[in-house]
Amino acid sequence: MKYIIIILLMFLTSCQNNKYDEYVNYLENQKENYIDIVDIELEFIELNEETMYKVTIDNPKEKMFDVEALVIHDYETNDIFPSFGIFEEKYNLYNEKIDDSYTKGIILIGYIKEFDSNKNFKILIRYKDENSNNKEFIKYIK
């Protein structure tokens, strides 16, 4: 019985990693199609030996359900890219509290060795609208 649970957990973890890898590969090959549904802000914070980048997704203009988000960049890294709703529970994003599954904003944080203004960031946001239609948009930030 113990072995069945371990195998099941390994399977579930590998499925999530495949989904994450699929999203990264998809986003790397996409162009921007940003629509003004949310405010997106990219901020850099210098730390001792590295730079932290913070992507804030806030102020939704419509109700967004089952939100997934991913940030990738051109920097060389061995870390995974920051994500939301891919490995963990998905939340809803809207401005007013309707139930306990809502959030007003999302912050994704990652680290790079040093800031370079010639590098690019891409942000993918997937969600369902009020009619359960799947939607996505991509924001490209230089």
Q: What mean pLDDT comes out for the span 79-96?
A: 87
Higher pLDDT, 55 or 97: 55
In the chain, domain spans:
2-141
Give strand pairing partners of 125: 69, 137
The confidence score (pLDDT) of residue 19 equals 83
The confidence score (pLDDT) of residue 33 equals 77
C-alpha 14, offset from chain centre: 19
Q: 141: burial class by Cβ within 10 Å (0-12, 13-18, 19+)?
A: middle
Q: What mean pLDDT comes out for the span 65-90?
A: 90
The confidence score (pLDDT) of residue 5 equals 40
What is the CATH architecture assignment of 2-141? Sandwich (2.60)
Whose tokens are 């932290």? That residue is: 52
How far is the CA of 115 from the CAs of 47, 73, 75, in angstroms? 11, 12, 9
